[in-house]
Structure 1
Amino acid sequence: MKLTSLTLAAALIGGAALAGEVAPKDVQYDESGAVAASLTGGAGDAMNGAMLAGTKSKGNCVACHAITALADVPFHGEVGPSLDGAGERWSEAELRGLLTDAKMTFDGTVMPAFYKVDGFTRPGNAYTGKAAEEALTPILSAQEIEDVIAFLATLKEE
């Protein structure tokens, strides 16, 4: 019974945390593309953000950006700017805007929108060229966006 009560309490607390999450279509950008408010109502986890930044199936920031702090991850890209010093160059609101939809800041960028579900064309069913039959989900969750922001905020110039 204690385990059931504890599980139920954890589920209720987790559900309450999700209730405060900003949906992709509800993100509020300022005139420069920054997003002031946390997408989750809380801070991110920098350690998880570092993992996401180097994971191909998730953020995969290193595919386009060099990040010295992730030197153990092979094949850093040169398409985007180095992210070394990102925590000094951009505020958390600017980083959040760039991660959710970089085109709100840089119109012609090739950077993907990591927290967007409509208004663009994305491969659908197993790269067949056919649109997905179900609703698209964001590449990263709201918490994952906040985690990557927390990681990028730690990157200071040396």
Structure 2
Amino acid sequence: MIHITALVAATLAFATCAKAEALVPYRIVGDGVPESLTGAPGDAARGRALVLARGTTCMLCHSGPFPETRFQGDLAPDLTGAGNRWSVSQLRLRLVDASHFNPETIMPSYYRTDGLARVGRNFAGKPILTAAEIEDIVAFLAMLRD
């Protein structure tokens, strides 16, 4: 349980960096969000930097083809080949609202503000990532092929 508490604390700490923006409405179709949250594709280079940044907490749980990154996680799927396993639409929904697939997941819903438990007053109503950051990460993950 301690590792989950640390993950939640790290995620909340990162939320202080999130830019204040109104959430862009999105539509779930099947098992994904087909339309870009920004109306444009993301930047894969920025997405890679976000995935590897300590603040996003991705590497606390995930591992992947990142030889320069020490101490990769083993709680969640390896990101190697993510672009082969999931479509862009599926990747987007996993980032926007991971709980859509598993209500008990420890992965944060990076673009949700409603229905969350134990959110500090200073973080209430703010997404962890912006729409542009979501799209950047989606662009990067979609490029990860075996």
Q: Answer yes or no: same fold by TM over 0.5.
A: yes
Map Cα deviations across residues 38-74 of structure 1 (whole Å, 9 max, x no partner). 00000001110001001122x2311111111x22122
Q: Which stretches of structure 1, 4 residues or longer, exceed 3 Å deviation after superposition?
A: none
Q: Does 1:98 align with 2:94?
A: yes
**Partners of 2:51 and 2:105 in 1: how far apart?**
19
Q: Which residue of structure 2 lines up, in the alignment, with residue 71 of structure 1?
A: 67
Q: Describe how 1:7-18 pairs up with structure 2 within 5 A.
A: none
Following superposition, the deviation at residue 75 of structure 1 comes to 1.2
Q: Which residue of structure 2 lines up, in the alignment, with residue 83 of structure 1?
A: 79
Assess if the C-alpha contact under 8 Å between 1:44 and 1:150 holds in 2.
yes
Specify which structure has the bigger relative contact order, considering alpha-carbon pairs within 8 angstroms and separated by 6 or more residues.
2
Specify the SS of the correspondent of 1:76.
Answer: coil
Specify the SS of the correspondent of 2:137.
Answer: helix
Assess if the C-alpha contact under 8 Å between 1:87 and 1:155 holds in 2.
yes
Following superposition, the deviation at residue 115 of structure 1 comes to 0.5
Cα 1:106/1:100, change in 2 over 3 Å? same
Specify the SS of the correspondent of 1:98.
Answer: helix
Could you state the TM-score of these two structures normalised by the residue count of structure 2? 0.79
Map Cα deviations across residues 6-31 of structure 1 (whole Å, 9 max, x no partner). xxxxxxxxxxxxxxx9825x222123
**Partners of 1:74 and 1:133 in 2: how far apart?**
31
The RMSD of aligned alpha carbons is 1.9
Q: Which residue of structure 2 lines up, in the alignment, with residue 129 of structure 1?
A: none
Q: Which residue of structure 2 lines up, in the alignment, with residue 48 of structure 1?
A: 46
Q: Which residue of structure 1 lines up, in the alignment, with residue 136 of structure 2?
A: 147
Q: Which residue of structure 2 lines up, in the alignment, with residue 137 of structure 1?
A: 126
Map Cα deviations across residues 93-118 of structure 1 (whole Å, 9 max, x no partner). 00000000011123332111000112
Q: Which residue of structure 1 lines up, in the alignment, with residue 17 of structure 2?
A: none
**Partners of 1:79 and 1:71 in 2: how far apart?**
18
Assess if the C-alpha contact under 8 Å between 1:97 and 1:105 holds in 2.
no
**Partners of 2:133 and 2:75 in 1: how far apart?**
23
Q: State which structure, 1 or 2, has the greater radius of gyration over its C-alpha atoms.
A: 1
Structure 2 spans left out of the alignment, 5+ residues: 1-20
Structure 1 spans left out of the alignment, 5+ residues: 1-20, 125-131
Cα 1:81/1:134, change in 2 over 3 Å? closer
Q: Does 1:30 align with 2:29?
A: yes
- Counterpart residue identity of residue 36, structure 1: P
